[in-house]
């Protein structure tokens, strides 16, 4: 073989990875070596085929979505707790199925003054389910009532009473702003043995009531009452006895 | 060698980590998927493994101290692909890498001009190469990586990247020649 250059050098030249001196040397060699000139031509041709044939495959959109969901799950949420995706889906599916079957208007069904409540059961359940989606539970995350309560200042036209009942087994997780019946309301979030309880609070001009009988739909319990110019609705998937206990604590 | 902490990933990442990851690493998802696709050859497997690699990268993200995020990610993708291959298709990894280099490519530029601009033919030819040849070609020709980047992604010494590419290209030329349609191969 007449060519005394190592054949790999040609690739370094092709890839523009030779230093200036070696590249110049190789160029001088090319002028007199037909073999290397032909070989370089073949490599350039192969490269252009590879680059012009649309071989690069971009990530599918579905993969991008799956990865984002995975990242969400691996990121500590603001409330410090995670609601798994399947549970979210199960909850959403239940809402859809049951909503189609039974559509009655609450609290009109109740026999006492609850009939004037400014929101419907469907709205409360929607708000509760929405809050369980990752990152939606709380705007302010704190177990300290003296942090949660002032947080609402300036965000609502009223100040909701906020108390922690950790000693009684209801841990204050935080609070957030929500909308019920087109009205801004405060949502207080408690946890009870890993279950989430939302307590919606908004001002009312109606007189006080007792804690109303429990409502149950789609596996969610709620308790509703009015006390000292505030309307309360607590909703959760905990048992009614737990919910009633919290309602009594808040009622005092 | 730019290794990443294989031992332990932190699984408590916060919103700030997430934002940084979105900014630095997630833009290279296409590169991650493309490499996985060419190493594993099947789209469905590539999606699974690219996803696994991306989430692994996220867990190791606190061990990433700046620099070339694409190379860092592709290194993880590559390792995840090889682990997957070892487990699911070990035979593919048994092919020999260090074979003797023949001095000249066996395809003429003319034959390539006729046969090479065909996506399917190129795909088939690339897929017949052992993974270690395929990956340097994909990184160089499709991803546009420098020798330095290829070295850090594939964990081969930088001094051998050039010869690895030379061998890989030679193998590809040969694969293309072998898959040339009957009429053409009779002439060669």
Residue A236 parent element (H or E): strand A230-236
Please tell me if residue A11 touches chain B, with a CB cutoff of 8 Å.
yes
CB contact under 8 A, B104 and A56: no
CATH domain B15-94 topology: Rna Polymerase Sigma Factor; Chain: A (1.10.1740)
Instruction: Tell me which fold the domain B109-187 belongs to.
Output: Arc Repressor Mutant, subunit A (1.10.10)
Size of interface A-B (CB pairs under 8 A): 131
pLDDT confidence of residue A117: 72
* Per-residue pLDDT tens digits for A226-249: 999 999 999 998 888 889 999 999
B14 touches chain A (CB under 8 A): yes
CA distance A174 to A162: 10
Q: List Cα–Cα distances, B124 to A30, A106, B173, B187, in angstroms.
A: 32, 65, 12, 21
ipTM of the complex: 0.81
Count CB-CB contacts under 10 A for residue A7. Answer: 19
**Dist CA B137 CA A240 (whole Å):** 65
CA-based nearest residue to B118, from A54, A107, A26, A229: A54
pLDDT, one tens digit per residue, over A24-48 is 999 999 999 999 999 999 999 999 9
Domain boundaries, chain A: 7-52, 78-251
Q: Do A46 and B30 touch (CB under 8 A)?
A: no
Task: Record the tokens describing residue A194, joined without a space.
Answer: 């890993």
Instruction: Dig out the tokens for B97 from the structure.
Output: 């890498």
Hey, are the CB atoms on A74 and B13 less than 8 Å from each other?
A: yes
Domain boundaries, chain B: 15-94, 109-187
Structure tokens at A44: 């350039």
Residues of B in contact with A55 (CB under 8 A): 119, 122-123, 126, 142
- Whether A80 and chain B come into contact, CB under 8 Å, resolves to no
Q: Per-residue confidence at B47, pLDDT binned at 50, 70, 90?
A: very high
Question: How many Cα atoms occupy the beta-carbon half-sphere of A74 within 13 Å?
Answer: 23
In chain B, residues with a C-beta closer than 8 Å to the C-beta of A50 are 122, 137, 141-142
Any A CB within 8 A of B32 CB: yes
The answer to whether the B15-94 and B109-187 domains have the same CATH topology is: no
pLDDT class for A119, splitting at 50, 70, 90?
A: confident
Q: Residues with Cβ < 8 Å from A185, sequence gap 6 or more?
A: A156, A177, A178, A179, A200, A201, A202
Quick count: other Cβ atoms within 10 Å of Cβ A103?
A: 10
**B67-95 as b/e, with b when 16 or more CB fall inside 10 Å?**
ebbbbbbbbbbbbbbbebbeeeeeeeeee
Subunit contact B101:A7, Cβ cutoff 8 A:
yes
Q: State chain A's mean pLDDT as an integer.
A: 83
């Amino acid at each position: 073989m007449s060519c005394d250059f190592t054949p790999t050098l040609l690739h370094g030249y092709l890839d523009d990875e030779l230093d200036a001196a070696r590249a110049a040397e190789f160029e001088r060699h090319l002028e007199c070596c037909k073999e290397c000139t032909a070989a370089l031509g073949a490599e350039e041709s192969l490269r252009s085929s590879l680059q012009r044939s649309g071989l690069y495959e971009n990530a599918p959109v579905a993969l991008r979505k799956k990865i984002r969901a995975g990242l969400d799950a691996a990121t500590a949420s603001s409330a410090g707790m995670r609601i798994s995706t399947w549970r979210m889906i199960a909850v959403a599916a239940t809402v859809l199925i049951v909503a189609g079957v039974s559509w009655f208007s609450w609290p009109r069904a109740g026999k006492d003054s609850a009939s004037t409540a400014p929101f419907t059961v469907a709205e409360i359940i929607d708000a509760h389910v929405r809050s369980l989606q990752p990152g939606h539970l709380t705007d302010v995350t704190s177990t300290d009532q003296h942090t949660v309560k002032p947080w609402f200042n300036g965000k609502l036209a009223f100040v909701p009473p906020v108390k922690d009942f950790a000693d009684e087994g209801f841990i204050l997780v935080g609070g957030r702003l929500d909308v019920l019946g087109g009205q801004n309301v405060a949502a207080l979030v408690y946890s009870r043995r890993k279950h989430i309880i939302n307590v919606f609070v908004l001002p009312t001009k109606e007189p006080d009531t007792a804690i109303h009988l429990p409502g149950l739909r789609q596996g969610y319990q709620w308790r509703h009452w009015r006390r000292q110019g505030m309307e309360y609705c607590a909703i959760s998937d905990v048992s009614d006895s737990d919910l009633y206990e919290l309602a009594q604590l808040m009622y005092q | 060698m730019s290794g990443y902490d294989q031992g332990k990933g932190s699984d408590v990442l916060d919103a700030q980590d997430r934002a940084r990851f979105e900014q630095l690493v997630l833009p290279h998802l296409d590169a991650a998927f493309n490499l996985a696709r060419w190493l594993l050859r099947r789209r469905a497997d590539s999606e699974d493994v690219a996803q696994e690699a991306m989430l692994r990268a996220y867990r190791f993200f606190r061990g990433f101290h700046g620099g070339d995020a694409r190379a860092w990610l592709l290194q993880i993708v590559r390792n995840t692909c090889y682990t997957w291959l070892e487990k699911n298709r070990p035979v593919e990894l048994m092919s020999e890498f260090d074979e003797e280099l023949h001095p000249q490519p066996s395809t003429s530029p003319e034959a390539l001009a006729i046969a090479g601009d065909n996506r399917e033919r190129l795909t088939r030819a690339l897929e017949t190469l052992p993974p270690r040849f395929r990956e340097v070609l994909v990184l160089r020709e499709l991803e546009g990586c420098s020798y330095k980047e290829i070295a850090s992604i594939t964990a081969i010494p930088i001094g051998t990247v050039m010869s690895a590419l030379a061998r890989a290209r030679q193998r590809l030329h040969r694969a293309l020649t072998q898959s040339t349609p009957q009429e053409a191969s009779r002439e060669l």
